[in-house]
Amino acid sequence: MPRRIKPLESRMPVHRAAMLIRRALGFTKKRMANETGCSHQEWAKYESGTRAIPFTILEAIRDLSGIDAYVLAYCLFFNHNKLPGSLQKILSELRDEWLKQIEIMTNVRHKLPAGY
């Protein structure tokens, strides 16, 4: 019997990228759930990786942050060595730019007045 291959989504830690983005935004899990249109319990499952993040939630994350969590996860956690060199370079540049954006979001958040 042939070996069953898991879909890429189940091997891609999108939940880790979503958590990174949420933390950079300075949102609690409850606020992120509210902002993305899901319940707090659903968000907790998405972020823990026990439930796949639906496309609508990924879109909401992108709208909030300007960062595509799925593509960020691919850039951060997928082995790019089998891709052509030009694609490796593009993914590295994209990853670096998004990580800069995350750092900027985090730094700006820390400089805002209390209660913002």
CA dihedral angle for residue 6, residue 8, residue 10, residue 16, rounded to 10 degrees: 150
pLDDT of 68 higher than 70? yes
| Distance between CA atoms of residues 116 and 37, nearest Å | 21
Q: Where are the domains of the chain?
A: 11-111
Query: How sure is the predictor about 116, in pLDDT bands with cuts at 50, 70 and 90?
Result: very low
Give the list of residues 6+ apart from residue 54 with CB closer than 8 angstroms, or none.
Answer: none
| Distance between CA atoms of residues 38 and 57, nearest Å | 8
User: Domain 11-111's class?
Assistant: mainly alpha
Question: What's this model's pTM, rounded to 2 decimal places?
Answer: 0.78
What per-residue confidence (pLDDT) applies to 7? 46
Give the Cβ contact number of residue 102 at 10 Å: 19
Query: How sure is the predictor about 74, in pLDDT bands with cuts at 50, 70 and 90?
Result: confident
Residue range 89-115: average pLDDT? 77
Query: How sure is the predictor about 5, in pLDDT bands with cuts at 50, 70 and 90?
Result: very low
pLDDT, averaged across the chain: 84
32 CA to centre of own chain: 12
pLDDT of 77 higher than 70? yes
